[in-house]
Each structure stands twice: as structure tokens, then as C-alpha cells.
Structure 1
Amino acid sequence: MNNRRSFFRKSAALGMGAFGIDSLFNQLHAAQFLEAEQSWNPASDSNEEYWSVIQDAYTASKSEIIILNNGGVSPSPIVVQEALDKYNKAAAQGPSYYMWRIMDKGREPLRQRLAKLAGTDAEEIAINRNATEALNTIIFGLPLQKGDEVIGTLQDYPNMVQAWKQRQMRDGVVYKQLSFDFPIENDEQIVKAYADAITPRTKIIHVTHIINWVGQIMPVKKIAQMAHAKGIEVVCDGAHTFGLLDYKIPDLECDYFGTSLHKFLSAPVGSGMMWIKKDKIEKIWPLLCNSEPKSGNIRKFETLGTRSFPIEQAIGEAINFQEGIGNKRKQDRIHYLKKYWAEKAAQIPGVKIHTSLKPEFSCAIAGVSIEGMKPEEVDARLIKDFKIHTVGINWENIHCVRVTPHVYTKLTDLDRLVDALGKIAKKA
């Protein structure tokens, strides 16, 4: 009898997931975060005592390698790791029961919490695996015809570029790509470039909210307002902004949006989200089959077959962790970290920063290069000689090393980066 009661208590706890009073976040971090809050000084730019508590909540802060490629994928904090482990262990006891009958019940509460974080109606949120899946669903689902025009850029993410090129090959859609020389500290210059490319056949503008190569923040709202005045819809790639910038999706005034939750939200690897404005859901075909492909139910995009329910449910603890810090505070901190190292690096002879340091034009991601060296050479030296992990970028007209700190990054880590860049530049 006791075993049966324990079994049902365990099942109920799994069903509640991250959103009950006994969430792992409440158990592991709530008291620590509350205590750290007492040290917060609104007048300070750094608040290192507070941020040391956040850093300790990530195992990555203690890695032998300094991880500065969070723009690729971010590590999860301990609470998310433990949630994923808990759900995986439960599923292993009987996947067809725990996944389909217990964890599956957690999707609707998760949808509600994601919608709250995004500032949207829950009926506009679909949960999937990454930004590529979300945006490909939209790109291939739009009812475009031969001759319809789409405007994007050479600097958009490769998987989105290839998706539009595939639609061009398959359906005769005309895909036009602008090119920008970043950094640009003039929104109107960017908006005008899109506006000048519009013709009577233009149906879609595709905008990357933060250019993943160098961190330029694109003026999505201004572009959307211009496009809507001309009857054009806007697809927004928010892979690098959700969980980083302090905004709600409706603020952007776009029509379609996709993001990866395993970047700055620090959810488990393989988690993503798609948003479609409610009155447009019906016309978008699901990427994978559904019994009612023309319905207005956002869940038609979640017919993914068997997938990792543990990953999906562990997203909840990442939301708890995010809300424990606060969107604005997190954005300001990561911008501070970017500016901290980049301003110092810019003073080193032979070193060039490829990203604006103004908060309205960039956050987190910055590009750096060393005169006389290829990006991949600088990247290789950083990891080999200094155990600093970045990524070399060679994409269209962008050639630099991408550096992306996160909330767990320590100032001492960034001091080591600046020191390493100085030593490498001296030998270049």
C-alpha cells in the first residue's frame, strides 16, 4: 500500500513539473536568490556579490575551459540539469507510461508559462526543438506562389537562407538578399534598405533580430511597421534574443517568430518555441503531418512523433531561473560583460571590434579580429594556448571571432580573454 501511495505521489509530482510549490528551483535556489537580492545596489554597474550567486548556480562557471561561445548553445544551470535528470530517470522506468500519461500533461502548463514570459496568448505558442524547426515550419508553411517575393539578407542564419532558397527552387518564389556592413548605428539606414527592395510582388520580409555572427540588433519593430503599411508580413528569427533582451514578442509587431530556448534561456539542448499571430495560424501548413493541417489550433505544429519529453518538461525550471533573475537585469548584465572586455580589447594595437558597444544596437555577442590573422587562427590559439572557447566566423562579408559571455561568466574570465588577445596580437 505504501509503495502504491509513493508511486502516485511521484506521478503527481512529475505532472506538476516545475510549476508547483515543490519545484526544484524553489528547493535549490529560491532562498539563495532572495538572500543575494539583499546585496543588490541599483546604483552599481557590476554588483559582483549578487552575480557570484548566479555564477555558482552553473557548473559551467567551474569548467577548465572558459566558455565564450554561448551564442552557439548555452549551458544549463544546475537546476535545469537536475530536472532533466529527474525526468529522464522517471521515463526510463516506463517511457510509454511516464512520457505519454504523466509528462505529456505538463505541456499545457508549460505553454502557459512560456506565453507569460513571451507576453502572448498561449494559443499562439507551439513548443518544438529549436529555432530552425520553428522557422522552417513557417517558411515552408506559408502559402506563397510562383513569383512572390521574399526579402532577407546575406547575413541571416544559414538554415533560414537555405530554407528560402529551397522554396525558390521548389515553388518559384523570388528570394532577394540584402547585404549590410555591420556595425550600423542607424536604424533608419537599415529600414530604408528593406523598403527600397520592396516591389508590388513582395509578400514577406525575413528579419534576424540579433545577427548571430556579430550581435547587431536589427530594428524589427520599425521594419514591421514599414512592411505592414505596404501589406507585407514579417518573419522574425529570434534565436538569440529570447531570454536575453527585455521584450515581449508582440512588442516587435512581427507576424511570425521562432527561437531556440537552449541559448540565453539556458533550457536543455534541443528545446525551442514558435509563435504565430493567432489570425494567421490557420493558413500555415504544418511542416510535419497533422490530421487537421488547416485548423487554427497551434497544436497542429506539435505532431512531432516520439520526442524527448524530459527535455520539454525541464524547460520549466529554466523559466523559473530566468524569472528569478529578471529579464531587464539579465540583459543589462550581459551587455555589461560584452562591453567590459570589448572596450579593453579595442585598445590593443592590431585588434578590431566588429560590433557596436551601444546597448540599443548590440548585446552579448561581439566580433573581434587581429590584424594579419584569420579568424580560425585566432580561435585555434585561444583554445590551444589559453583554454578559451570561442568560434571563428567566415560568412559572407563577416570575418572575425565571435565572443559571447553569459550570466555565469566571471570578470576574471574576460580579463583572461583580453590578456590572451594582447599576447596573440603581439606575436601576429
Structure 2
Amino acid sequence: MNPRRQFLRKMTEFGTAFAVSPFLQSSQGDKLLAAFERTQAQRLAEATTDEDFWNQIQQAYTVSANVINLNNGGVCPQPKVVQEAVEHYNRLSNQAPSYYMWRILDAGREPLRRKLADLLGASPDEIAINRNSSEGLETIIFGLRLRAGDEVVLTKQDYPNMINAYKQREHRDGIKLKWLSFDLPLENDDEIVQTFVNAFTEKTKVVHITHMINWNGQIMPVKKIADAAHERGIEVVVDSAHTFAHLNYSIEDLGCDYWATSLHKWLCAPFGSGMLYVKKEKIANLYPLFAAPDPESDDIRKFENLGTRSFAIEQAIGHAVNFFHMIGAERKEARLHYLKNYWAEKAQEFPGVSIGTSLHRDYGCAIGLLQIEGHDPVDVSSWLFRNYKLHTVGIKWDNINGVRITPNVYTTPRDLDVLVDAIREYPV
């Protein structure tokens, strides 16, 4: 058998994902599969900078050739195979919606649950499929059995939707919020952990930890904080919107009780797809956000009572998982870290420029924060787009100010050279 056909057959062991992809049957798809085959035995350092391989990855996306998208921290585009899968399942659904959606595609949720659970390193009985991190985390926040006077420890650098959800519980139920604030970036686990520990009291019931701060890409030492919390009987909620399929880890590495992510971020799954994790022994005591027949059931599926949803979006998630496996978790993380440091190391040498993100692999990865002294980040972001068609986002949140710059696997060093040139030419 042709080696590329052998590799394609190996890939289909992850499921039937590629069977509906015209792209993978095309000459460009054939080149992509050949690139995957060629690089299977590469060492990590070699694979990280193999630009021929990553150029083939770029061709697997439909990103603009005229706008350099460096705001993947907001939402990531889908590779062609995922877009094609959404279109395929949507056409199928429209042939006879109630039949194909509820009797055919709905049956695909359990294989998908197993696929996602395997990727996270969890039991399928601990994984619920929903629409985004906010929905998953608000399921947790509003489902926790907190009473007046119970304390929750969180930070001012957490995501706004989560902050507002806790504030609503504070307003409605009389819980007490204990706010921490960090001057980022930080490269000291002990300092971070001790700040959390100093806030814990006998009344603390929950600690909320953002695995990667979305504003600047700071990675927090979740496991160490979680261990300290559990020693004191405190439950641990983790927001991993930006780390799933970005960093190479399993749920055991975090030691948390509750966790959620957006699959349309770094997994590059369809827009409006997410995942919730609840530790098995915690499920029964957590109320669902959308009413279930038995709110105290220990079945993770009680969190999936969303009513009619897009089964096309849901089923296409599996194709994103397959594409992720083709790249490989370790290789993807290494590439993303390389790309961030590629531009950041050059930019920080310019007068008045600093980087508000750690360049160390333990504390940062793809997301980087550009800071130009004396200049408003929104103005800088606008200038970058107006003059170089670099799509970024200006961040002004609490004590974090800068331009968030986030490449992805389809970003090339040539794109980042444009960014570096633009930063050099910025009128300071």
C-alpha cells in the first residue's frame, strides 16, 4: 500500500472523521499527509522549526492571506477538515431534522465523549459537552451549594464572565468574595501559591483558578494551589479556556474538582463548542444550570439538557480532535511557545518596548503581551492593523495594559517578521 494511504488509514483509527473531507482527498491534502508521514520520527527540537511541515499546516486552514491574524487568544479558526465536517453534518441534518439529529447524530455523542475524555485523561463519566467555557464554568458557579457567609477566593485577573457570575451569587446568596491581585508576569510558584494560601480561612469553601490568564498568557501553578486548598477542605474550580489543546497536560496534573474549557479556542473545533469536567464524586452534589429530571443525579449527562442544539457543530468536534492528534500535543505546545518567543525576544530589544508575559515555558506559551511605554494599547493595536494589517487586541484590564499578540500553528515566522518590523517602526 502507498505509504501515504497507510498513514491515512492509521489516522482513520481515531474515527471516521476524514471520510467526509474533500480537502484530504485533494492534492493539497495529499501533501499534508505526506508531511505528517515525513515528520513522524523527528525529534521535538527539529519538528518545532521544520518550516516545510508548518507551511503545510497553514495550507490546511482557510485563513486570510491579506490579514495576519494574531488574535487567536479570542477564538481560533477551524482547519478545512473541521469546516467540511460541519457542512456535511448540517446538510445531513436538513434532510430530515428530527430523524437525523435525534436518532442518528445524537447517538454520536457517546463516542465523542470518550474521545474528549481520552484527550483530557478523564473518565467519560466525568465529561459533559456544551457550548463554551462560560457555560461550563457558570454551571459550576451557580450549581455549587454555597450559603451566606461562605467565602470564595478569586483574582481580579480572572475572566469577566466568571467574575460577574460570582458577583451575582454574592448579590443573591450573600457569599463573600475575597479578591487577590497579581502584578504579572510572575515566575515564582511559591509567591503565587502563598498569596492564595494567605487568603484561605475556615470559611473558604471554593478557590477559583484561571489556568492561563487570558489577558497576558500567564500560566498559574494550578496543582500546587489545588493541593494547598484540598489540605484545608476547599474545593477547586479551574478555568482552562486557554490551555486545553494548547498546553500538554492531563486533568490529573491539575488536581481540581471542577474544570471547563472552550473547544473553539486551541482545539480549533467549531465555534460554540465547549467541555465541562466534574470529578465523579462531585457530580451528584452539583446542580445543573439547565433543569434535569433529577438534579441530584450522579450522571454527568444531567449537565447536557440544552434542548435543541447544533448537532453539526457537536459532531464536528471529533474531527478537530483527530487533526490535533495528527500534529501531536507535545509538538504543538513546543511550536506555539517558539512562535511567541520568536517575536518577543526581538521586540523587547527595542527602546521603550517590554513584554508583559514570561518567556519561560513554565509560565507562558502562545499568548504574549506587547507594551510600548507611554502609548495606549488600543492605539497601538489600531496602528498595527491600519499600517500592517496585523490583527491584535488592545488590553486594558485592571493592572494589565498592552497589546495581546497570539499566533497559532498556521502562523509563520515570516508573519512574525512583519510584526517585528512594525514594532520597530512604531512612532514612539
TM-score bracket for the superposition, by shorter chain length = over 0.9
SS at match of 2:220: coil
Give 1:339's aligned amino acid: N
Q: Which residue pairs with 1:10 in the alignment?
A: none
Q: Which residue pairs with 1:4 in the alignment?
A: none
CA change 1:262–1:17 in 2 (3 A) is farther
Spell out the pairing of 1:216-295 with structure 2 (5 A cutoff): 216-295=218-297
CA change 1:336–1:371 in 2 (3 A) is same
Give 1:169's aligned amino acid: H
Q: Separation in 1 of the partners of 2:42 and 2:257?
A: 38
Alignment partner of 1:122 is 2:118: no
Give 1:202's aligned amino acid: T
Q: Which residue pairs with 1:411 in the alignment?
A: 413
Alignment partner of 1:53 is 2:49: no
Of 6, 12, 19, which residue of structure 1 is paired with 2:15?
19
Task: Confirm or deny: 8 A CA contact 1:73 1:263 kept in the other structure.
Answer: yes
Give 1:352's aligned amino acid: S
Task: Confirm or deny: 8 A CA contact 1:36 1:49 kept in the other structure.
Answer: no
How far off its partner does 1:41 sit? 4.8
Alignment partner of 1:377 is 2:373: no
How far off its partner does 1:32 sit? 3.2
Q: Separation in 1 of the partners of 2:393 and 2:86?
A: 27
Task: Confirm or deny: 8 A CA contact 1:288 1:301 kept in the other structure.
Answer: yes
Q: Which residue pairs with 1:5 in the alignment?
A: none
Task: Confirm or deny: 8 A CA contact 1:32 1:53 kept in the other structure.
Answer: no
| Residue identity (%) | 55
Q: Which residue pairs with 2:319 in the alignment?
A: 317
Q: Separation in 1 of the partners of 2:118 and 2:36?
A: 22
Give 2:182's aligned amino acid: F
Give 1:20's aligned amino acid: T
Of 105, 109, 112, which residue of structure 2 is paired with 1:110?
112
Q: Separation in 1 of the partners of 2:221 and 2:414?
A: 33
Q: Separation in 2 of the partners of 1:334 and 1:136?
A: 29
How far off its partner does 1:176 sit? 1.1
Q: Separation in 2 of the partners of 1:314 and 1:38?
A: 25
SS at match of 1:188: helix
Q: Which residue pairs with 1:7 in the alignment?
A: none
Q: Separation in 2 of the partners of 1:398 and 1:40?
A: 39
SS at match of 1:292: coil
Q: Separation in 2 of the partners of 1:211 and 1:311?
A: 27
Q: Which residue pairs with 2:341 in the alignment?
A: 339
Q: Separation in 2 of the partners of 1:128 and 1:290?
A: 15
How far off its partner does 1:20 sit? 2.6
SS at match of 1:275: strand
Task: Show CA shifts across 1:170-225 (max 9, x none).
Answer: 00010111000000000110000000001110000000000000000000000000
Q: Separation in 1 of the partners of 2:294 and 2:395?
A: 42
Task: Show CA shifts across 1:235-275 (max 9, x none).
Answer: 00000000000000121000000000000000011000000
Give 1:258's aligned amino acid: A
Structure 1 residues not aligned, in runs of 5+: 1-15
Task: Confirm or deny: 8 A CA contact 1:147 1:172 kept in the other structure.
Answer: yes
How far off its partner does 1:93 sit? 1.8
**Higher mean C-alpha deviation, range 141-150 or range 19-28:** 19-28
Task: Show CA shifts across 1:318-353 (max 9, x none).
Answer: 000000011111000000000000000101111111
Task: Confirm or deny: 8 A CA contact 1:40 1:50 kept in the other structure.
Answer: no
SS at match of 1:235: strand
Q: What is the CA RMSD across the aligned residues, in angstroms?
A: 1.7
Task: Show CA shifts across 1:304-330 (max 9, x none).
Answer: 011111000000000000000111110
Give 1:51's aligned amino acid: W
CA change 1:387–1:250 in 2 (3 A) is same
Give 2:227's aligned amino acid: Q
Task: Show CA shifts across 1:131-174 (max 9, x none).
Answer: 00000000000001110000000000000000000000000010
Q: Separation in 2 of the partners of 1:22 and 1:381?
A: 41
Which 4+ runs in 1 deviate beyond 4 A?
A: 24-30
Q: Which residue pairs with 1:157 in the alignment?
A: 159
SS at match of 1:114: helix
| Alignment TM-score, normalising by the size of structure 2 | 0.93
How many residues align? The count is: 410
Task: Confirm or deny: 8 A CA contact 2:17 2:322 kept in the other structure.
Answer: no
CA change 1:39–1:114 in 2 (3 A) is closer
Q: Separation in 1 of the partners of 2:292 and 2:13?
A: 27
CA change 1:217–1:57 in 2 (3 A) is same
CA change 1:137–1:227 in 2 (3 A) is same
Give 1:49's aligned amino acid: D
Give 2:52's aligned amino acid: E
